[in-house]
Amino acid sequence: MTTKTISLLVQGSPFSSQACIHALDFAKATIRKGHKLFRVFFHKDGVLIANCPYHLPFDERDMQQEWIDFATECNMKLFICVAACERRGLQIPRALEVNYPFQFAGLGQLTEAMVESDRLVAFL
C-alpha cells in the first residue's frame, strides 16, 4: 500500500450538517490506515465548530470536544479560517492560545494543504 498525504476541508456547520462528524470519522480512518493527515481546515460554516461558548443539549454529541481530543491525541492543529470567523461575527479568543488545537489561519494555509497533499477531501 502506498502512503498518501491527505488534507481535509470542512465547510458544513456542526449544527445543521453531518460534515464535522463525517470529517472526523474520515480523519480517524486516515490515521488508522497508516496515511498522513497533513491538515484539517475549517471554512465557511465549518468554523462554528470552534465557537466559544459551545453549549449543546445533553443528548447531543459534543463534536467540538471530539475534534479537540483527536487533535490532542494526534498532536496536530485544526485550522479555522479567520475571514470566515469574521464574517460570522465569531469571537474565539482561545484560538490565540498556543496550546489550543483550533488556530486561526488564512487561505494560504488551505492552498499549502492543496499543494502538499495527494488528496484534499471536502466535507460540505
Task: Please tell me which residue in 20, 52, 74, 81 is annotated as part of the active site.
Answer: 81
pLDDT at 65: 94
Which residue ranges make up each domain of the chain? 41-102
What's 41-102's CATH class? alpha beta
Q: What angle do CA 104, 31, 41 make, to 5 degrees?
A: 20
pLDDT at 64: 93
**81 among known catalytic residues:** yes
Asked if omega into 53 is within 30° of 0 (cis), the reply is yes
DSSP strand E in 30-93: where? 36-42, 78-81
Question: β-strands 119-123, 5-10: how paired?
Answer: parallel
pLDDT at 105: 96
Predicted confidence pLDDT, tens digits, the chain (124 residues): 799 999 999 999 999 999 999 999 999 999 999 999 999 999 999 999 999 777 788 888 899 999 999 999 999 999 999 999 999 998 888 877 878 999 999 999 999 999 999 999 999 9
Rounded Cα distance between 18 and 108, Å, is 26
